[in-house]
A and B are shown apart, each in its own frame.
Chain A
């Protein structure tokens, strides 16, 4: 289990991370999502022990991660721009990781290189961006660490390769209980694979929940009220995150379970009522709008 306990980080004038606390269970895929500059990469770098929090701490299976070898043996961090040594080949990188990760599986690494069509003796500098990402993921997977931290790792992968990598993760999770933690703002990607989501905004956590629970707890409702029913009166008992009206059609994003919402609307006079499932992207927009992150405000001022 990874425990992020009230961590904060300031870079000169900027408060990059502000009292973030998240718990990540083993055996699930955790998605770290957030607005631009929300502090996703900073949180991930603190989780990897690259930077030390100003306050709070990160525990990997109960061990503080910063400058702690035993904790770091359980994680592999793939940065948004992975680094490979100058003039190195995939073979060189494999040798390096084998020297630092005690359980690095060289045979599997060689096999994956072949399967992914990444020549073991080719210069990495000649690889495309996507191939470099693939190589970084293979290094991470073959390091056989319990946790795999990925920062915007799916960027640059073609759809087939993306699917291939997802399958790889599924296999590793199934076989050895690997826990991937993925930071991204590509919510459609995360929606497919994440079990749990942490939403960051302006350095703080807006929410951290199971994806299903999150989807169940927020509903998109379309309804038309009967004539003479006052809008304020009808929606008073709802926790509305967002509301739009086109003609007589109301589109509401409300907090609460589907059954609960259905029950509420059965109690008021409507001509039409329908509850629609929300995508992760819509949840993200709704939640961030609540705290003032509204694209319309950004554009229109």
Chain B
């Protein structure tokens, strides 16, 4: 008798009643795994023409069986398994049977719970094994996929468990299938949706906001979001070397696994607690626990109100009237809808005025916080004594960074980890000065940051990351004015901590590649390989030149030439670009030693012809203003082209050109005239073959005859 009534007997008995669930999962996995693998590999097999077909198919199979492909299906199965397993709680007559038989609540819960997991796990494993057989039969190197399949099994199972637990929690909190499904959606996505909504509000109202919400990402517990982050981490190794060591290096992947597991355990603990407390009389009701009704209603209503507000705001091109209309309409409609769902009665729409008032109050308060910056977010500059260090860089800087494994590194991540400026005074002064700046003044009539930047030729945005002494990290972005702020910017960019983090030439891992680098030099007329130049010598000289290099020099001086260091390492191309300024005496000496130094970018003797194109943007703008909106001016061509072959004229033009391939982000916007595009046609004898290069013209050096010949005359 005892054995018959054991836990496993209950699990088996439960399985007999869930045959259709097993059939649905079996079919789903069968088509998503072995059938899909067979079809895709047969296509790959036909299209691949190289010798290593066996390995290629193995890598392809690894990607198919690895994380991601069946994740959605698994999440859906988890929801179905949880709802079906505990669906007896929705019907009184089922409940009368289950609750009156001599089985403890705990025994019943865990037997149903485990049954759902076993159905998933057995069917997933069987189909995974079947996929290996199919792939092996099709000639794939299946051993290459073992690691990714094992990791996928781990990650997918954690996803299944987490979604399964969240859905069980939703079943326990509700008493009706429809409300359970809605509740599952809310529990799975609410925190992510709130996060996105807050980001949208920050972006809309906090001018100096930058990555401010990112710190809160770690607080998101939704298993779906956790899994998506885990998937991001997995891209670091999926399809690459099948070594386990490579994965073990990735702490982020395993911390992702742990947080996904933690989210699942939290949901399970809550679900079981609710299960033990859920009264039988809750079946058929919308919410099992009346105490949860009001908070859930208020939370969803506030979210819906704020969401509708920002949506209307965006759709109406930032109209405050429609913003407030959206807030009100969203709040009212959502509140009414929830009342209808709670009571299953359309007449209930008007109920619950107290919770409506509370929701509306919270919506209004949150709106005010953002709209009027009540938390002084946009005015926040930390006190000097609070700051441990600062990372500071221009938003439009474009260096490429590499980590200690020589894998490409995100710029923000690299700079924030490597730059700790402790001379914080000029940065705080700059922030204090510019975060209060009226952007509409700085940028003419522009009302937002982007437009302000277009209008004000001196305006550049910088990103700062304050590392506070209390452990907090605060991010902001704010504008600087090149010329006005030059004194402060000079102090910042000559700081050693700034320099050594910003310039990749200080990255010791990269520079350890030494003479593996191929060195190129471009003096303005195209790059060429530099032979027999010690990278170490170049690096040392360049670093010495950078030491005294100021922002003012960077802004006013023009680049003479560019060194490029390139090296193929672990299948990835490592690249460094080193602009050479007139003040870089040590580097220039090396250029001279190699006979590469030029007085100007292009040797006149090599040029056969110069073609100048002028897009005449002023004429275009004038025409547009005259025509008004909706005119066909956008299809009318205002570009005028002129060719110059006279040596005197060409010489004067060459004095004014600036190579398009050189860095010009540091120059004030009015340094170059972007209307002009200069194309040099080289003599076929020069360089051995006919070629051409493109250049800008320096604004204050454009020869009059060029302006005259290329002007638009209607």
Taking Cβ atoms with an 8 Å cutoff, the residues of A that contact B are: 11-12, 45, 48-52, 67, 69-70, 72-73, 75-77, 79, 81-83, 85-86, 92, 95-103, 149
Contact = CB atoms under 8 A, between A and B. Distances in A.
A102 B17 CA distance: 21
A96 B96 contact: no
Contacts of B10: 99
Contacts of A73: 102
Contact of B99 (A11, A50, A82, A101): A50
Contacts of B43: none
B100 A72 contact: yes
B685 interface: no
A101 B17 CA distance: 18
Interface in B631-672: none
A40 B16 CA distance: 34
Given A51-B279, A99-B13, A83 B101 contact: no
Interface string B1-41: 10011000110010011000000000000000000000000
A100 B101 contact: yes
Interface string B97-119: 10111111100000000000000
A97 to B, nearest CB: 8
A79 B97 contact: yes
A299 to B, nearest CB: 30
Nearest to A88: B17
Nearest to B97: A83
A70 B103 CA distance: 9
B96 A72 contact: no
Interface of B: 1, 4-5, 9-10, 13, 16-17, 91-97, 99-105, 279-281, 290
Given A69-B102, A72-B101, A96-B13, A77 B96 contact: yes
B96 A45 contact: yes
13 contacts: A11-B281, A45-B280, A50-B96, A52-B280, A69-B103, A72-B100, A73-B102, A79-B97, A82-B93, A82-B97, A86-B17, A99-B10, A102-B4
Contacts of A48: 96, 99-100
Given A12-B290, A83-B97, 13 more contacts: A49-B99, A50-B100, A70-B102, A72-B102, A72-B103, A73-B102, A76-B100, A83-B93, A95-B13, A99-B4, A99-B5, A99-B9, A100-B101
A11 B285 CA distance: 11
A149 B96 CA distance: 12
Given A45-B96, A99-B13, A102-B1, A69 B281 contact: no
B102 A101 contact: yes
Contacts of A77: 96, 100
A79 B96 contact: yes
Most A C-beta atoms less than 10 A away, residue of B101, B103, B281: B101
The 9 lowest CB-CB distance pairs between A and B, nearest first, are A72-B102, A77-B100, A79-B96, A83-B93, A48-B100, A50-B99, A73-B102, A100-B101, A51-B280
A69 B104 contact: yes
Nearest to B12: A99
Contacts of B13: 95-96, 99
A75 B100 contact: yes
Given A48-B96, A50-B99, A79-B93, A67 B104 contact: yes
Contacts of B93: 79, 81-83
A83 B103 contact: no
B19 to A, nearest CB: 9
A100 B102 contact: yes
A50 B105 CA distance: 11
Contacts of A67: 104-105
Given A51-B280, A52-B279, A101 B101 contact: yes
A301 to B, nearest CB: 28
Contacts of B104: 67, 69
B114 to A, nearest CB: 16
Contacts of A95: 13
A54 to B, nearest CB: 10
A140 B92 CA distance: 19
A152 to B, nearest CB: 13
Nearest to B2: A102
A83 B102 contact: no
A44 to B, nearest CB: 9
Contacts of A49: 99-100
A72 B104 CA distance: 10
B277 to A, nearest CB: 10
Nearest to B19: A87
A242 B280 CA distance: 41
A69 B105 CA distance: 9
A50 B95 contact: yes
A4 to B, nearest CB: 16
A56 to B, nearest CB: 16
A48 to B, nearest CB: 4
A21 B97 CA distance: 25
A75 B9 CA distance: 21
Nearest to A71: B102
A77 B92 CA distance: 13
Nearest to A79: B96
A79 B92 CA distance: 10
A79 B93 CA distance: 7
Most A C-beta atoms less than 10 A away, residue of B17, B97, B105: B97
A82 B94 CA distance: 8
